[in-house]
A and B are shown apart, each in its own frame.
Chain A
Amino acid sequence: MPSLKSFRVRIASVKSTQKITAAMKMVAAAKFRRAQEQAVAARPYAERMARMLGSLAGAVSGDDGPRLLVGTGSDKVHLVVVATSDRGLCGAFNSTIVRGARQLIRQLLSEGKTVKILCVGRKGRDQFRRDYGGRIVETIEEVGRRRLSFADARRVADRILALFEAGEFDVCTLYYNRFKSAITQIVTRQQLVPFPVEGVAAGADGEAKAIYEFEPDEAEILADLLPRNLAVQVYRALLENSASEQGARMTAMDNATRNAGDMIKKLTLQYNRQRQASITKELIEIISGAEAI
């Protein structure tokens, strides 16, 4: 039977853990709200960029378009960009992304393709290092530690572009968690290179169908627009990811706080029972001692 003192120590330790998880939940909630606001604020730019790209891509004809749009003409080497968090304690957030990416990698490998991995965030790298360590070309850490800015996203995009220009890969796919709610995040796979444009057909309203004049000309604008579009896509994904991360952490910490509460209740019950037992035992000893005289 554990002693009364050991019970008291355990209850105290669980209580302090509970305090930490409760505080972490509050912090995550505050960060979560900020991340959500940022994601909403970034939406107009992405929308207009997509609209512009749609009308441009329709104007540039088929095969002689820029390589970021039409691809290199081969799909031998794949680059998988896995966006995860730098910190843990956020439930299954990182594992689900990695699981999704792993599935794709396995499929690509079985098709005889070459796969390279670019990790954004420390947690993804840690999980991949075990089995696909040799395939990781680079890890980018501490992205948007304070506040995710467009410059951070651009840094990631520039790395991807540099690799592309060096001919390191043909197809690039990005994995991240799309934010649905604080409890639900959806692992999302998005192709970055070649970039799938929804085309002019997407502009159902009359305005988007308007015939544009281009200055300087389509090809030049597109050459400028595509790298920037890549940065915007990465930015959006990272924003979604950080909102998801904080949401996941919020739920995880809420669960942890509740579990700690349950544990305290259970331990207190056991503690009281044992205390009662020892009092009863002492009484019996005294009474039987008195009777013996």
Chain B
Amino acid sequence: MAEKLQFELVSPERLLLNEPVEMVVVPGTEGDFGVLPGHAPMISTVRPGVIDMHDDGQVRQRIFVAGGFAEVTFERCTVLADEAAPLAELDRTGVETELKGLRDKLAEADSDGQRTAIAARIAVAEAKLAALA
């Protein structure tokens, strides 16, 4: 396919990626969605999960994002991610220990605000683990 889609991945600290791809699959809160060139404009929230970048009918790169927002227009797909890392750079044991630490913290937390904050981080860590599996 000659036509390409401009895919942008932005974190609050910097622009991480800005390159043309054939298709991206974004983990939306209401289910994964694939974006091809000419997609109808849409805004969606993103759950913690993996973004797949497709080129020549194959997955070229997989990137983990810890939630955020996606904006799709006819020729572009922009993902505003809270935190992003290529899947290959995630380290399984590191995530596991993090998850364990967070669960301990959750048991100790004494206010509702703290609990929801930690629960959100646990969800991110669990999604990381699921992505690695």
Binding site for B on A (CB under 8 A): 38, 41-42, 44-45, 48-49, 51-52, 55-56, 149-150, 153, 162, 207, 210-216, 220-221, 224-225, 228, 231-232, 235
Contact = CB atoms under 8 A, between A and B. Distances in A.
B108 interface: no
A56 B42 CA distance: 11
Contacts of A56: 43
Given A48-B8, A221-B69, 14 more contacts: A52-B69, A56-B43, A149-B13, A150-B11, A153-B12, A210-B73, A213-B41, A214-B44, A215-B28, A216-B29, A216-B30, A231-B12, A232-B12, A235-B12
A231 B82 CA distance: 11
Contacts, number: 77
A214 B40 CA distance: 11
19 contacts: A38-B13, A42-B13, A44-B10, A45-B15, A45-B80, A48-B71, A48-B80, A52-B43, A52-B71, A150-B12, A210-B41, A213-B40, A214-B42, A214-B43, A214-B44, A215-B33, A215-B43, A216-B45, A235-B12
A221 B45 contact: yes
A225 B67 CA distance: 11
A220 B43 contact: no
Contacts of B113: 162
A48 B10 contact: yes
Cβ-closest 4 pairs across A and B: A41-B14, A215-B44, A213-B42, A150-B12
B41 A212 contact: yes
A207 B29 CA distance: 24
Interface of B: 8, 10-15, 28-30, 33, 40-45, 69, 71, 73-74, 78, 80, 82, 113
A148 to B, nearest CB: 9
Nearest to B68: A228
Contacts of B28: 215
B123 to A, nearest CB: 14
Contacts of A207: 73
A215 B10 contact: no
Given A48-B78, A225-B69, A215 B13 contact: no
B41 A211 contact: yes
Nearest to A213: B42
Contacts of B69: 52, 221, 224-225
B117 to A, nearest CB: 8
A188 B14 CA distance: 24
Contacts of A153: 12
A45 B11 contact: yes
A220 B46 CA distance: 12
Contacts of A212: 41-43, 71
A232 B78 CA distance: 17
B14 A42 contact: yes
A159 B73 CA distance: 35
A38 B15 CA distance: 11
A52 B80 contact: yes
Contacts of B43: 52, 55-56, 212-215, 221
Contacts of B14: 41-42, 44-45
